Amino acid sequence: MGAAVIITLAFVIGETVAGFLSHSLALLSDAGHNFADALALGISWYAIWISSKPSDPKRTFGYHRVAILAALVNAVSLVVIALIIFWEAVQRLKTPEPIHAGPMISVAAIAICVNCLIAYWLHHGAKKDVNVRSAYLHMIGDAVSALGVVIAGIVITFTKDPLPDVIASFAIAALILWSSWGILKETVHVLLEGSPADINMSALEKTIRDVPGVLNVHDLHVWTVGPGVIACSCHVVVAEQSVHSGQKILREVAEELEEHYEINHTTVQIESESCEFDDMYCRVEPSHHGHGHHHH
């Protein structure tokens, strides 16, 4: 991934120079998009490195959440770049500038090749990690926006009209906004401790109830810590029995959750049926005495 960051940054410099020389806002927009991608790749690279650091007494879950924060920063930076491009495109509509289409076409064509190559490198990791996926989607988006610049350049060559350059800029800005929205939504959901989108909570609850010896389940929480790290905590009600039997049920619940839902961090509290229990998803209230949570 380090090589991808260096290649992208080098290309951004070249594309920015070409954009200024050819007066092409579309090329400058694409350079802005590419710069966001270099930033995205750099952040993803850092996040992957830091999330592999072991947990410590201060961060008992380790550094997995850094990857989620990185994806959020990445998505927000894209929204800002898109808004700048929209603003500039509106200014260009008011005061058009003559465009030199030659450098615009050739630089954008190189951009397509560079982005496709990096997207190919990232393709495999994109399936497992929201961070790599955000970087991968940026690269695909870049290749498409560069194609838009090539088409705009060809139209300008024949018509000498600068309008296609502005249209391409609007299209690139819209594409950037669209690609960042999904990542923004996903990262905010994770930071709000939402249950993973691909987990059916009713089915998960049934899986726990179906474990032999389980009478009931409540206070069920499932959340994503970071890419590939899903945690679950629940209270399981069992009949009065030996500690050994209770441990066996606990182990089986954890194994079922890992096998069917890829939940790799399960905390199960075993309760005997004489205890009172209430809501399935308990309402956790901030404690004014430093610790503890209350059920309503």
How many domains is the chain partitioned into structurally?
A: 2
For residues 104 and 240, state if they share a domain: no
- Over 70: is that where the pLDDT of 150 sits? yes
For residues 166 and 154, state if they share a domain: yes
Cβ-in-10-Å burial (0-12, 13-18, 19+) of 33 comes to: buried
Range of the domain at 112: 2-191
For residues 98 and 147, state if they share a domain: yes
Lowest-confidence segment of 45-59, 90-104, 175-189 by average pLDDT? 45-59
Q: How far apart are the first and last CA of the chain?
A: 49
Q: Which domain-ending residue is among 191, 220, 237?
A: 191
Structure tokens at 226: 């970071």
- Over 70: is that where the pLDDT of 288 sits? no
- Over 90: is that where the pLDDT of 197 sits? no
Per DSSP, what are the bridge partners of residue 216? 237
Q: Which residue has the higher pLDDT, 166 or 229?
A: 166
Highest mean pLDDT among 50-54, 103-107, 179-183: 103-107
For residues 166 and 236, state if they share a domain: no
Q: What is the pLDDT of residue 293?
A: 47
- Over 70: is that where the pLDDT of 283 sits? no
Q: Which domain-ending residue is among 139, 159, 191?
A: 191
The verdict on pTM exceeding 0.85 is no
CATH number at residue 283: 3.30.70.1350
Q: What is the pLDDT of residue 96?
A: 83
pLDDT in tens, 68-120: 887 788 788 888 888 988 998 999 888 888 888 888 899 899 989 988 988 88
- Over 60: is that where the pLDDT of 294 sits? no
Q: Which residue has the higher pLDDT, 113 or 54?
A: 113
When pLDDT is averaged across residues 140-161 and rounded to a whole number, the result is 88
Q: β-pairing, 214-226 with 265-272?
A: unpaired
Q: Which domain-ending residue is among 191, 212, 244?
A: 191
Is residue 296 very low, low, confident or very high in pLDDT (cuts 50, 70, 90)?
A: very low
